[in-house]
Amino acid sequence: MEFEKIENALKKGEGEEVRIRGWIYRKRRTGKLIFAVIRDSSGIIQTVVEKGKVSEEEFNDAKKALIESSVEVEGIIHEDERAPGGRELHVTKFRVVSFAEDFPITEHQSVEFLLDNRHLWLRSRKLTEVMKLKSEILRFIREWFHENDFYEVTPSVITMNAAEGGATVFSFDYFGQPAYLSQTAQMYLEAMIFSLERVWSLTPSFRAEKSRTRRHLIEYWHLEAEEAWVDNKKNMDLQEEMISHVCRRVAEECKPQIEFLGRKAEELKAIEPPFPRIKYERALEILREKGFEIEWGDDFGVPHERALVEEEEKPIFVTNFPVEAKAFYMKIAPDGKTVECADMLAPEGYGEIIGGSEREESIESMIERLKKDGANIENYEWYFDLRRYGSVPHSGFGLGVERLVYWIAKLDHIRDATPFPRLLRRAYP
Ligand code: NSS
């Protein structure tokens, strides 16, 4: 007999024979009966091992096996309303594949303990549902890019350019030369639009940020897109279409996950274009009305963004930040003091999930801004070539995949959107 996924076993009728394999999730014993709940990647099922219905040795093994022992079980399906999923498996064969030692994780443990045991905590129901959801979100993103004529490309994550500012790069010795772990694939994507026009990539990005917030990771999965012939406005149109596609597909296909996590399908279905667009100048006014002391030129932090979107149900865009608040590659707007950029802030207080902009075409303007940052201009020569040989108006954006999951899954910390979070002072396990 083939092994069946537990999800399928739970669809079988009274008296049907099934064979499953997985891990002991919970166990209790009353006299001659052992109730062992078994889990696999698809769900959980209650099994009943009765003395006399299996061999003596099998019964003793079932008695001895601690939770998280791996097992193969055969038996007969019995309909029972009280059991999870409405079915029980009456066991005829119980084989322990590996006896687990005493599992260190029990209820009510500290966050630090759970992070130290992340490799084991990944088996928890919550993290299992989040990881499934993340996998599906990535599938829906791919779907959207494919339907919209983008090519997926594979840029390098070793670089000599600190595109998002030298203060937050990890540097290392590259055979005698200083190099960095990439903060963004943007510059490489820009190079590829001249042959492919619309490109996107998914790469790890690294930020040596000393921030301890609920939404900063040191290493995160960065989804970036770059489009030839597209201005900042059209760039926002594309972003809102992509995000609403993902939300709609999650609502359609990930019901068990979002329900478990406390996110309603209707909330996601309501995420439809257009998203409100406000200028930085207007955002400043709103923040001042809410009591923030904030000056023209300041970038927004977590509390500012939360205040801007705490009552929103859809994401919003904040556009036209001051030149001095943003990166050297953003196109300066006709007003001369702002850039053609947009941050997409997720609703319910979640804050920034996407940063995007139209790209500057003037080499002089970029050099001037890079010099203010103290960057080594020589390393940007190749990038300036992109402006020298057939430059076209173009725009792009970067989405933090874990930020998106953090919002959609209603998590209270971004660390649970990734299996092995890299945080300030934590790179273990
Ligand atoms: O710094 S960004 O705002 N923009 C860029 O890197 C552009 N070069 C992207 C582009 O146009 N191709 O980062 C983009 C997004 C940001 O909106 C967040 O969602 C995410 O990357 N991000 C992070 N996620 C998790 N942790 C950290 N530390 C982090 N930093 C940025």
Calpha distance 231→2 (Å, rounded):
56
Question: Among 151, 159, 166, which residue's Cα sits nearest to residue 202?
Answer: 151
Q: What is the pLDDT of residue 233?
A: 98
Question: Among 70, 66, 86, 68, which residue's Cα sits nearest to residue 3?
Answer: 70
From residue 292, alpha-carbon distances to 130, 239, 284, 301, 304 in Å are 35, 29, 9, 11, 8
Do residues 322 and 337 lie in contact, with contact meaning Cβ atoms separated by under 8 Å? yes
Condensed to tens digits (0 to 9), the pLDDT of residues 50-88 reads 999 999 999 999 999 999 999 999 999 999 999 889 999
Residues 6+ apart with CB under 8 A from 194: 228, 386, 389, 390, 392
Q: What is the pLDDT of residue 262?
A: 98
Calpha distance 271→80 (Å, rounded):
40
Q: What is the pLDDT of residue 166?
A: 77
399 CA distance to ligand 1 middle (Å):
6
Residues framing ligand 1 (Cβ under 6 A): 163-164, 184, 186, 207, 209, 216-217, 220, 222, 224, 352-356, 396-400, 402-403
Q: The domain 6-98: what is its CATH number?
A: 2.40.50.140
Calpha distance 89→80 (Å, rounded):
10
392 CA distance to ligand 1 middle (Å):
24
Q: What is the maximum span of the chain, computed from C-alpha positions, in angstroms?
A: 85
Condensed to tens digits (0 to 9), the pLDDT of residues 364-390 reads 999 999 999 889 999 999 999 999 999
| Residue ranges in the chain whose pLDDT is less than 70 | none
Residues 6+ apart with CB under 8 A from 189: 153, 155, 199, 200, 201, 224, 225, 226, 396
Please say whether the structural domain 118-417 has been given the CATH code 3.40.50.20: no
Question: Among 72, 5, 86, which residue's Cα sits nearest to residue 36?
Answer: 72
Do residues 293 and 284 lie in contact, with contact meaning Cβ atoms separated by under 8 Å? no
143 CA distance to ligand 1 middle (Å):
22
Calpha distance 18→21 (Å, rounded):
10
**Structure tokens that stand for 31 in this block:** 């006299």
83 CA distance to ligand 1 middle (Å):
46
102 CA distance to ligand 1 middle (Å):
41
Structural domain boundaries in the chain: 6-98, 118-417
Q: Ligand 1: which atom is nearest the Cα of residue 186? A: 12
Do residues 43 and 85 lie in contact, with contact meaning Cβ atoms separated by under 8 Å? yes
Q: How far apart are the first and last CA of the chain?
A: 38
The model's pTM: 0.97
Q: Ligand 1: which atom is nearest the Cα of residue 207? A: 28
Query: Does the fold of domain 118-417 match that of domain 6-98?
Result: no
278 CA distance to ligand 1 middle (Å):
20
Alpha carbon nearest to ligand 1 atom 9, residue? 398
Q: What is the pLDDT of residue 45?
A: 97
Which among 213, 222, 395, 416 is the best mutation to test ligand 1's pocket, defined by most ligand atoms within 8 Å of the CB? 222
